[in-house]
Amino acid sequence: MRDMRDALMAALSTVNDPELHRDLVSLGMIEHASVDAGVAHVKVNLTTPACPLKGQIEHDVRAAALTVPGVQGAVVTFGAMVRAAAQPALPGVKHVLLVGSGKGGVGKSSVAVNLAASLALDGARVGLLDADVYGPSVAHMLGQSGAKVTANEERKMRPLDAHGVRFISMANLSPAGQALVWRGPMLHSAIQQFLKDAAWGELDYLIVDLPPGTGDVQLSLTQTVQVTGAVIVTTPQDVALIDATRAVDMFRKASVPVLGVIENMSYFVAPDTGVTYDLFGRGGSRKLGDHTPLGEIPLEVSVRQDADAGTPAVIAHPDSPAALALRQAARALAGQVSVRTLAHLPDQLTVV
């Protein structure tokens, strides 16, 4: 029996994680492997519950198990544990991910909310900080604009909860409709408080919706916590790309890795005719240079309607093309986080 298990492990060590380009055994991803009455039982511990290539891994593990002499069947199951960054961002928070844009109105907040909801739907523990202090819209998009953030026994801000996402927005702290004119040091301390004086609890991903552009908030954030990386949201037309380039440059100067680019309002499919229109020049975001494309999200009426109704499109209209593209983009992002994190780990991890 021991021999068969050894043979199974040897077979599994030939299976590479398609994104990490290393084998599952040396990555410490095989949580369990055994052979019982000719059936291999393998449990793979993924690096994120939002793994974009789970289907392929399942296929490859099954195929490898079936090469072991005497194995006639294979049962492959999955668990997931997000590996923390080399220097975790905050106690209990494994990754802080920034969502930025060069221009306003490109759909950055909509994308941030839907990414957060998508990762939560896949089983990750997700927080969302609305750092768009000049135009906070996250609370509205989550249907919680009337809710107020309260303090816990330790006098820490208690994040609100909606659609499986823990969140804090300036909109839940200040009286409705009142503009905030915070600048410089005050803004810096507000951002610090949102991050450090909030009881976020255990999170796999804390997504931060930045204000558009390249200002004080972005700088404060990168100075306050260790950030795993940033996502740039842009629309495809040149005028948006010019500003997106500035955002990329700002992250580069702050040594924040750009994990990828999401092209929003990429195209429009007329609901009555099914004809696709490339309103702003689909694929234009590739001009941004050598950045991983994480997804192209179509312009869709339901995305706007769902945001205004307070339920993210990925939950309200899960089968719509925009929702499917957003789910895919979230998984691609989680994949990039794993790639970044694992790239810094030693060659050999736990051997089962």
Ligand X SMILES: Nc1ncnc2c1ncn2[C@@H]1O[C@H](COP(=O)(O)OP(=O)(O)OP(=O)(O)O)[C@@H](O)[C@H]1O
The residues that bridge with 258 in the sheet, in sequence order, are 230
Q: Binding mask 262-281 vs ligand X (x if CB under 6 A, - otherwise)?
A: --xx----------------
CA 53, 57, 59, 60 dihedral sign is positive
Q: Residues with Cβ < 8 Å from 75, sequence gap 6 or more? A: 39, 40, 41, 42
- CA 306 to chain CA mean position, Å: 20
| 234 contacts 101 by C-beta, under 8 angstroms | yes
What residue type is 1 in one-letter code? M
Among 101, 218, 222, 320, binds ligand X (CB under 6 A): 101
| 102 contacts 245 by C-beta, under 8 angstroms | yes
Among 212, 260, 284, 295, binds ligand X (CB under 6 A): 212
Rounded to the nearest whole angstrom, what is the least distance from the CB of residue 143 to ligand X in the complex? 13
Q: From the annotation, which residues make up the binding site for ATP?
A: 102-109
Q: From the annotation, which residues make up the binding site?
A: 102-109
Residue number, 49 or 213, with CB nearest to ligand X: 213
Residue number, 204 or 209, with CB nearest to ligand X: 209
Residue number, 42 or 241, with CB nearest to ligand X: 241
Q: Binding mask 309-328 vs ligand X (x if CB under 6 A, - otherwise)?
A: -------------x------
> Applying CB under 6 A, does 304 fall inside the site for ligand X?
yes
* φ/ψ of residue 41, rounded to 5: -115, 120
Among 303, 333, 334, 337, binds ligand X (CB under 6 A): 303
> Applying CB under 6 A, does 135 fall inside the site for ligand X?
yes
- Give CA–CA dist 9/168, Å, rounded: 45
Among 108, 163, 188, 282, binds ligand X (CB under 6 A): 108
Q: Are strands 258-263 and 229-234 parallel, antiparallel or unpaired?
A: parallel
Binding site for ligand X (CB under 6 A): 101, 104-110, 132, 135, 137, 212, 264-265, 297, 299-300, 303-304, 307, 322
